[in-house]
C-alpha cells in the first residue's frame, strides 16, 4: 500500500513479527543473509520489522521518501533502494533521474549499514531513461566507491543493447 500498511501496527506486532522472527531466524543462524522485499509505505512498521533479523531491506524510494529513509534506517540495515518506476523513470528527464540517484546515494550511503540500488525496468520506461539510470548508477558508484548495484536491472538494460554496445560497471 502506498499510503500506510494493509495491517495496523498492533496486529503486525502481534501476528506477523513473531512469525517473521522464527522464519528469518533459521536461515540467519545458518549464516544466510536475510533479505526482505517490502513494497509500499513502511513508516508505521519499520521499527517493528527491524526487530527481525533482517540484514537487507528493499523499499521504495518515492513512497517512503529519501529523508525518512535516511533518518530512520540509514546505518541500521543495508538499504536496497528500489528506484521509482511509476513516476520519475517514466516521465522524468535524464537530469532529474541523475539528480535523484546522486541525492539518494549522497544521503543514504553508509558503510555501517550498506546501500544497494535496484531498478526494475518495465515497458513503460523508455530506453533513454533506462540508460540514464544505468549511467547515473555507474557514475556515482565510482564516485562513492562502496555502492553495490543489483544486477537484475543491468540485465534488463543489456537486453536493450542488441546492437553490441558494450556497457560495463562495478556490479555485484
CATH topology of domain 9-160: pyruvate-formate lyase- activating enzyme (3.80.30)
**What is the residue extent of each domain of the chain?**
9-160
With a cut of 70, which residues of the chain have pLDDT below it? 1-2, 142-172
pTM, to two decimals: 0.81
For the beta carbon of residue 35, count every other beta carbon within 10 angstroms.
15
Give 42-52 pLDDT, tens digit per residue: 999 999 999 99
Cα atoms in the 13 Å half-sphere on the side-chain side of 148: 14
Rounded CA gap, 82 and 85, in Å? 9
Q: Cα torsion at 75, 80, 85, 86 (round to 10°)?
A: -50
pLDDT at position 153: 39
Rounded CA gap, 63 and 84, in Å? 8
Give 123-156 pLDDT, tens digit per residue: 999 999 999 999 998 888 766 664 444 444 333 3
Amino acid at each position: 500500500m502506498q499510503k500506510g500498511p494493509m495491517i495496523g501496527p498492533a496486529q503486525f506486532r502481534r501476528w506477523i513479527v513473531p512469525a517473521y522472527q522464527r522464519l528469518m531466524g533459521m536461515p540467519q543462524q545458518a549464516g544466510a543473509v536475510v533479505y526482505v522485499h517490502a513494497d509500499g509505505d513502511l513508516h508505521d512498521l519499520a521499527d517493528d520489522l527491524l526487530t527481525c533479523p533482517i540484514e537487507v531491506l528493499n523499499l521504495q524510494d518515492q513512497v517512503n521518501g529519501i529523508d525518512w529513509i535516511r533518518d530512520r534506517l540509514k546505518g541500521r540495515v543495508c538499504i536496497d533502494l528500489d528506484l521509482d518506476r511509476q513516476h520519475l523513470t517514466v516521465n522524468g528527464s535524464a537530469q532529474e533521474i541523475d539528480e535523484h540517484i546522486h541525492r539518494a546515494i549522497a544521503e543514504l550511503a553508509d558503510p555501517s549499514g550498506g546501500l544497494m540500488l535496484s531498478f526494475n525496468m518495465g515497458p513503460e520506461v523508455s530506453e533513454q531513461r533506462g540508460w540514464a539510470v544505468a549511467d547515473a548508477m555507474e557514475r556515482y558508484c565510482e564516485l562513492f566507491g562502496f555502492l553495490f548495484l543489483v544486477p537484475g536491472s543491468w540485465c534488463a538494460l543489456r537486453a536493450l543493447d542488441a546492437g553490441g554496445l558494450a556497457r560495463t560497471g562495478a556490479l555485484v
